[in-house]
Structure 1
Amino acid sequence: MHGEPQSLPGAAQEAEGRLSEIEELEIEVAQLKQAVNSHAVIDQAIGVVVTRGRMTPDRAWDVLRETSMGTNIKLRHVAEMVVTWGVTGELVADIREELTRRLNSTR
């Protein structure tokens, strides 16, 4: 009986450590999922800009990045709006103006 009470604190610490590790891994998995989703949206937006601007994917990437910086809107959000633009033909004025300027400067 004397062995059991002494082993409980160590076992509790070990279990707590494992729970903490599991929580950290769950956070990392969620972050990786977010990164994969962001990357997919950005790739789709590159495709829209390639089609609309008749340019290479590398140049389309630059246009998206520069549009993001020029409007001070996160790249992922710009990409989402550009993908929507490809479907609906509608684009927020700020993004449309900056993107049009970038697309016209490449011609």
Structure 2
Amino acid sequence: MTSPALPGREPGADPRVDDLVQEVKQLREKVEQLRVENAQLRRAVASHAVVDQAIGVLVMTAKINPEDGFMVLREISQHTNTKLSAIAEQIIEHAQDTALPETILAELHAALTRRR
């Protein structure tokens, strides 16, 4: 004797197979979510390292403490509407004799002046 078909299921289909198919689908979605999260975390770690290096540059060149170094980077970022990590990269490159754009240079001087 066969049971009546449920909505969305073929007559005679094994409910355990449907459950397994659904579970595999959910696991695939979870794996994709974890891949996205992993990529985001990798970018965050790389960005954090760049910011830390730029803070070190400011500590050494401007003779300020690390907290002020971060505040300087943040202020430049906010005043120029530029990502913090991009500002940090430019500060590091500047320490290696690359010229800073005028707007960044002006904001750097202004931020450092406020710290002294």
TM-score (norm 1): 0.88
Aligned to 1:71: 80
Of the three residues 15, 18, 33, the one matched with 1:24 is 33
Q: Deviations over 1:6-36 (max 9, x none)?
A: 3322211111110011111111111111111
Mapped partners of 1:13, 1:66: distance in 2: 50
Count of paired positions? 106
CA shift for structure 1 position 93? 1.4
User: What's the secondary structure of 2:99's corresponding residue?
Assistant: coil
Bigger CA drift: 45-54 or 5-14? 5-14
Question: % of aligned pairs identical?
Answer: 38
Q: Deviations over 1:14-71 (max 9, x none)?
A: 1111001111111111111111111101000101111121111111111111111111
Mapped partners of 1:51, 1:100: distance in 2: 15
CA shift for structure 1 position 79? 0.8
**One-letter code aligned to 1:93:** E
User: RMSD of the alignment, in Å?
Assistant: 1.8
CA shift for structure 1 position 84? 1.1
Aligned to 1:13: 22
Mapped partners of 1:9, 1:89: distance in 2: 61
Once the two structures are superposed, the pairs formed by residues 1-107 of structure 1 within 5 Å of their partners are 5-107=14-116
Unmatched runs of 5 consecutive residues or more in structure 2: 1-10
Mapped partners of 1:81, 1:66: distance in 2: 14
Unmatched runs of 5 consecutive residues or more in structure 1: none
Larger Rg: 2
Mapped partners of 1:89, 1:106: distance in 2: 24
Mapped partners of 2:115, 2:30: distance in 1: 49
